[in-house]
Structure 1
């Protein structure tokens, strides 16, 4: 009986270790979806904690889909602010803006109020979408406590590479900008130019 328990314990440990090692080790090692591929139809949480179906949301209009690290990241906050400043022009071009992070709905609300954001923020605390899109990587160990706190304990292991996708109404990627160096983000000018080119 002891041998069976030991074997089972080792099996569980190896499964957990294997699952953790599936994430790329660094931001430079990710394998994101490519232009022409479709964002998976998953359900994320809104600021209010409501379920938001992605396919239904994308089908309403073309989408600027942004992945950011969290409200604790000053570079992300600068990017979210710049998006807010360009939102009027992007809306006039027929786009909606959706920003996704591992933050819990409660912490999304803090970001929303602090940065006076008008567009949609969604929570992917378990990383289901971030991993499916191929932009999740293993967070350094010194991030674990902060990630756990910002996700209400649901994430201790992954970070998203800062990414911007432009999608059509079918959720298909028409443009992407992926920046493994989190200190550098797409400029507002480039984003608007890309959005105009896809009109």
Structure 2
């Protein structure tokens, strides 16, 4: 019986870390589950542990496809407009993409983003969060270039998670249609109603 339980735990944890074949087939972590403790790189190439970052204050964790994506850039800018009100609620915003640290800096400068951008170039966090999918073939060269060779052809479904300081997911918005994003106003309303 004990061996069966161990086997089931191994199977379920392996299933969560798989890369979906399409955006519609992702299996994101659920509300109430904890985010994994995975290392990310900041725009200045410093390694940070996700759990350490979210332990500082409640967090809006935003996953985007990359600085090359016009829909992502529009969303980053919209969230930037809501940043002050989100911070007033006691939250921080962390945005994560497959871009290499140098490309994060370009996005920060071009879009005048004030919140923190982090690199998950090899997709480890995307996979662990259950939002990674196999990128269409026409994206492979772009992903290899923007990740400086780290990304092996996976993209995140653009997603927003609200995380408490213990790393628990309190809210999530995961939409396979990369053109449809949660608005800054709706995100703020959700945050205001969480506590």
Other-structure match for 2:187: 191
In the alignment, which of 148, 153, 156 is matched to residue 152 of structure 1? 148
* Deviations 1:55-111 (CA, angstroms, capped at 9, x unpaired): 111111000000000000000000000111000000000000000000000000000
Other-structure match for 1:52: 48
In the alignment, which of 67, 72, 91 is matched to residue 71 of structure 1? 67
In the alignment, which of 116, 121, 125 is matched to residue 125 of structure 1? 121
Taking the aligned partners of 1:59 and 1:147, their CA distance within structure 2 comes to 30
Other-structure match for 1:103: 99
TM-score, normalization by structure 1: 0.88
Query: When the two structures are aligned, how many residues end up with a matched partner?
Result: 178
Q: Secondary structure at the match of 1:114?
A: helix
Structure 1 residue ranges (4+ consecutive) displaced by more than 3 angstroms after TM superposition = none
Taking the aligned partners of 1:63 and 1:173, their CA distance within structure 2 comes to 10
* Deviations 1:42-67 (CA, angstroms, capped at 9, x unpaired): 11000000011111111110000000
5+ residue gaps in structure 2?
1-17
Q: Secondary structure at the match of 2:152?
A: coil
* Deviations 1:7-44 (CA, angstroms, capped at 9, x unpaired): xxxxxxxxxxxxxxx52111000000000000001110
How far has the Cα of 1:195 moved from its partner? Answer: 0.4
How far has the Cα of 1:190 moved from its partner? Answer: 1.1
RMSD after superposition = 0.7
5+ residue gaps in structure 1?
1-21
8 Å CA contact retained: 1:145, 1:156: no
Q: Secondary structure at the match of 2:56?
A: coil
In the alignment, which of 159, 166, 172 is matched to residue 168 of structure 2? 172
Other-structure match for 2:5: none
> Bigger radius of gyration, 1 or 2?
1
